[in-house]
Amino acid sequence: MRDIVRRGPLLHWLIFTGITGFAVVLLWHYGLIQKMVVSDRTHISSLIALLYIGASLHCLWRTIVISREDDAARRSAEFVADGRHLEFDSGALATAGGLPDGVLTTHIRNLATKAKTQGPSRLDQTLLLRGLASQLRGSNHFGAFASDTLMKLGLLGTIVGFIMMLAPIAGLDADNRGALKSSMTLMSDGMAVAMYTTLAGLVGSILIKIQYYMLDDATSRLFNFAVGVTEVHVVSALERQSVARR
């Protein structure tokens, strides 16, 4: 159970992607995806699908990173729970050989270095926490860009589809049945492009937002955990040691 909690972000992504993949398989089985690809002569829907896959893979990579950092942070928390591990040792930090690699370990080492160099004054980690938050967020903001891009591509497909639908009207001859039939076919094709690209853009944008929302939530929980660990165990221990050395 403990390992499942630690791997929560990755597990949630896998569950969500599994449900999404099952829905895609059903749509493919009933021929709806093939119909969309064939009907969209602009191939904007296919481009949206490719961008969605790329953004999902990026989200997977970031989720794996956050899962690993979460695991390292929890092992670091167990290590620093005993304040004796944060003592200075001949000008070097005793934490160097005991903490697992990770952004929280780097933050703890920075705090210990700051406590040693600034003396017995109160240890303020505000600026260091800002750097930690930036490191944890990484390239998560790409999700907002990808979601907005998919939405804009869907709207672009809508405009192109309506242009294709309305273009035949300009040269329409009501007395020519052949031309009228041909114009109706072109209008139908344009409407199909508008509807399918809009649908693909909306669905893709929503699914990407959900994935990156789960990623941002996991990142926020990890940051809050790191703040709690450093404020309760690290900062207090380092300040106590600084006072003891006065």
- pTM for the model: 0.83
Question: Is 118 within 8 Å of 97 (Cβ atoms)?
Answer: no
**What is the predicted pLDDT for the residue at 96?**
44
Query: How far from each other are the two terminal CA atoms of the chain, in whole angstroms?
Result: 46
Dist CA 90 CA 144 (whole Å)? 48
Kind and range of the H or E run holding 93: strand 92-93
Residue in 78, 124, 99 with CA at minimum distance from that of residue 239? 124
Q: Tokens 């869907």 appear where?
A: 154
Q: Where in the chain are the domains?
A: 2-244
Q: For each of the chain's 246 residues, which pLDDT tens digit applies?
A: 344 445 578 999 999 999 999 999 999 999 988 988 888 888 999 999 999 999 999 999 999 999 999 988 888 888 877 655 555 443 344 444 567 788 888 888 888 888 777 766 777 888 888 998 999 998 999 999 999 999 999 999 999 888 888 766 666 555 556 655 666 666 777 788 889 999 999 999 999 999 999 999 999 999 999 998 888 878 777 777 766 665
